[in-house]
């Protein structure tokens, strides 16, 4: 006979992105004590998405992006302190909480603004991961205090034409600021990264995280670990030698901690994004070391020659690899190599030559919808015109002429612009209503 005091099992809705399922799973987990420790898990399921599930997840994060862009279009560099209360900040960023509420006392809406020193390519390279090893290393560099992590499904990965693209399901568990006074948290997210151009032709990258419920990896099945739920949009825009950041998202407060304490912890997670450039540098240094090792292995150099770097003109830096204690390995590099790495925009992309799937067109059009004078036909007709404003501004800033421009920088930008134009040309939308109808049809 079933125990009437226990709550019913939450429904196994594979496409669920609602926090209500997370809440139900948390209530159920309180009646189970004999659970595994999350650190003991080494085997993870492989999730396969149907075409309908993939389309549903994309529309959910597409709506998230649309809402964030609408908020961003009203931002204009100033946060309305009557609507947004400060939560936490550092010298790079500030995080705020929406004082208007969300209609649910356990759901908090937050906004983050700031700037990161570095290139747009380095910021997006620093958050990019497509393998279990990469996500663990990236999360370590982002100071996320992870205890375990893996990638359970991959739909799209990056190519030279689309170096910021990713779509898939990731999971990670991390310690909470409360220490032994609170349970740790884990997240199962559908994640999408990409690049597009806004209504003024500026290159913008987006990083979308949406919590999902999957029967293959159910919530709250590990000891002292509670499944968190969030919907978060990160926007990154190139601003000279810096990257302008704009974050917008909602978080469900599971557990018994006061909401203010939970908000402070979430804001701390957002602030770690400043470490993305450091992570990208580690990736580039690792690739540099791998190429050097390959050259040494092909020569007659001795093992001593392999690491023969002058200590007086070199520095020790972290590379994109963890030791047995899950800490970044450190290596020594000469100043000349460090200068080359600093000038490189993002790490080199390993590509199998197979054309990747393109994201739905509404990921490009949502930035155009922020303009009141938006006309779909005008965008489509001008899609093959390459805007060189970014290259022109870079040259003026450095006092260069066209003969001096970095050809690889121009080539990379040209490929991204053409890929964007190709996505727009494939669209079947004829009006703004068509875009919104596609986004909100489920």
- Residue 219, phi then psi, degrees to nearest 5: -80, 150
C-alpha 308, offset from chain centre: 37
Domain match, 146 and 25 both: yes
Residue entry with tokens 């001096």: 404
**113 neighbors 240 (Cβ within 8 angstroms):** no
DSSP 138-150: HHHHTT--EEEEE
Average pLDDT over residues 94-99: 94
Average pLDDT over residues 74-87: 88
- Which of 235, 251, 274 represents a domain boundary (last residue)? 274
Domain match, 418 and 306 both: no
Say which residue, 221 or 18, is predicted with more confidence: 221
Q: Is residue 212 helix, strand or coil? A: coil
Domain match, 212 and 285 both: no
Q: What is the pLDDT of residue 321?
A: 96
Nearest alpha-carbon partner for 388 in 364, 403, 410 = 410
**Residue 64 counted as domain residue:** yes
Domain match, 136 and 192 both: yes
**Residue 407 counted as domain residue:** yes
**Residue 352 counted as domain residue:** no
Domain match, 419 and 328 both: no
**Is the predicted pLDDT of residue 165 greater than 90, yes or no?**
yes
pLDDT band at 420 (very low <50, low <70, confident <90, very high): confident
**Residue 350 counted as domain residue:** no
**Is the predicted pLDDT of residue 331 greater than 90, yes or no?**
yes
**Is the predicted pLDDT of residue 383 greater than 70, yes or no?**
no
**Residue 153 counted as domain residue:** yes
Going by C-beta distance under 8 Å and a sequence separation of 6 or more, which residues neighbour residue 55?
Answer: 360
Domain match, 415 and 433 both: yes
Number of domains forming the structure of the chain: 3
Residues forming beta bridges with residue 250, ordered by sequence position:
109, 231
Domain match, 310 and 405 both: no
Find the CATH number of the domain harbouring 253: 3.30.530.20
- Least confident range from 1-10, 61-70, 117-126, 350-359: namely 1-10
Considering the chain, what percentage of its residues have pLDDT values greater than 90?
45
**95 neighbors 112 (Cβ within 8 angstroms):** yes
Q: What is the pLDDT of residue 350?
A: 84
- Which of 217, 246, 274 represents a domain boundary (last residue)? 274
pLDDT band at 138 (very low <50, low <70, confident <90, very high): very high
**Residue 7 counted as domain residue:** no
Considering the chain, what percentage of its residues have pLDDT values greater than 70?
78
- The rounded mean pLDDT for the chain is 83
C-alpha 267, offset from chain centre: 16
Domain match, 211 and 337 both: no
Domain match, 45 and 146 both: yes
Residue entry with tokens 């279990």: 132
Domain match, 127 and 177 both: yes
- Least confident range from 195-209, 251-265, 369-383: namely 369-383
Q: What gap in Å lies between CA 414 and CA 386, rounded to an integer?
A: 7
Say which residue, 137 or 374, is predicted with more confidence: 137
Domain match, 320 and 416 both: no
Full domain range(s) for residue 391: 375-439
Q: Could you tell me where the beta strands, DSSP code E, fall in 99-228?
A: 107-117, 146-156, 166-174, 184-197, 203-211, 225-227
- Which of 274, 306, 328 represents a domain boundary (last residue)? 274
With 0-12 CB in 10 A as exposed, 13-18 as middle and 19+ as buried, what is 314?
middle
pLDDT band at 412 (very low <50, low <70, confident <90, very high): confident
**Residue 353 counted as domain residue:** no
Average pLDDT over residues 392-418: 65
Say which residue, 155 or 312, is predicted with more confidence: 155
Nearest alpha-carbon partner for 129 in 145, 150, 148 = 150
Q: What gap in Å lies between CA 124 and CA 195, rounded to an integer?
A: 10
Q: What is the pLDDT of residue 385?
A: 46
Domain match, 247 and 101 both: yes
**Is the predicted pLDDT of residue 102 greater than 60, yes or no?**
yes
Say which residue, 91 or 386, is predicted with more confidence: 91
**Residue 351 counted as domain residue:** no
């Amino acid at each position: 006979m079933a125990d009437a005091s226990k709550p019913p099992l939450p429904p196994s809705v594979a496409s669920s992105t609602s926090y209500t399922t997370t809440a139900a799973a948390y209530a159920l987990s309180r009646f189970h004590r004999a659970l595994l420790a999350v650190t003991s898990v080494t085997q993870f399921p492989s999730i396969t998405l149907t075409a309908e599930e993939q389309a549903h997840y994309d529309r959910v994060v597409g709506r998230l992006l649309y809402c964030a862009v609408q908020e961003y279009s009203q931002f204009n560099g100033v946060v309305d302190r009557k609507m947004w209360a400060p939560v936490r900040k550092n010298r790079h960023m500030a995080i705020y909480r929406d004082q208007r509420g969300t209609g649910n006392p356990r759901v908090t809406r937050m906004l983050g603004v700031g700037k990161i020193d570095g290139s747009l390519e380095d910021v997006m390279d620093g958050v990019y991961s497509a393998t279990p090893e990469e996500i663990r290393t990236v999360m370590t560099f982002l100071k996320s205090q992870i205890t375990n992590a893996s990638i359970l499904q991959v739909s799209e990965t990056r190519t030279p034409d689309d170096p910021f693209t990713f779509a898939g399901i990731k999971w990670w568990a991390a310690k909470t600021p409360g220490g032994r006074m609170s349970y740790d948290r884990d997240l199962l997210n559908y994640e999408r990264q990409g690049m597009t151009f806004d209504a003024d032709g500026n290159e913008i990258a987006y990083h979308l995280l949406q919590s999902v419920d999957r029967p293959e990896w159910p919530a709250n099945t590990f000891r002292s670990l509670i499944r968190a739920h969030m919907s978060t949009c990160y926007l990154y825009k190139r601003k000279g030698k810096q990257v302008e950041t704009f974050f917008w998202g909602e978080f469900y407060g599971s557990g018994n901690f006061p909401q203010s304490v939970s908000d402070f912890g979430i804001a701390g997670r957002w602030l770690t994004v400043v470490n993305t450039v450091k992570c990208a540098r580690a990736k580039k240094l690792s690739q540099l070391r791998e190429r050097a090792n390959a050259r040494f292995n092909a020569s007659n150099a001795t093992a001593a020659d392999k690491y023969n770097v002058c200590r007086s003109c070199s520095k020790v830096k972290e590379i994109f690899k963890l030791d047995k204690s899950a800490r970044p390995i450190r290596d020594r590099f000469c100043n000349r190599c460090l200068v080359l790495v600093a000038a490189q925009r993002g790490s080199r992309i390993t590509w199998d030559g197979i054309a990747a799937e393109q994201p739905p067109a509404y990921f490009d059009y949502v930035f155009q919808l922020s303009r009141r004078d938006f006309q779909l036909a005008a965008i489509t007709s001008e899609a093959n015109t390459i805007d060189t404003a970014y290259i022109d501004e870079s040259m003026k800033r450095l006092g260069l002429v066209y003969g001096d421009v970095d050809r690889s920088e121009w080539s990379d930008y040209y490929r991204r612009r053409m890929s964007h134009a190709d996505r727009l040309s494939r669209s079947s939308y004829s009006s703004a209503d068509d875009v919104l109808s596609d986004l909100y049809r489920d």
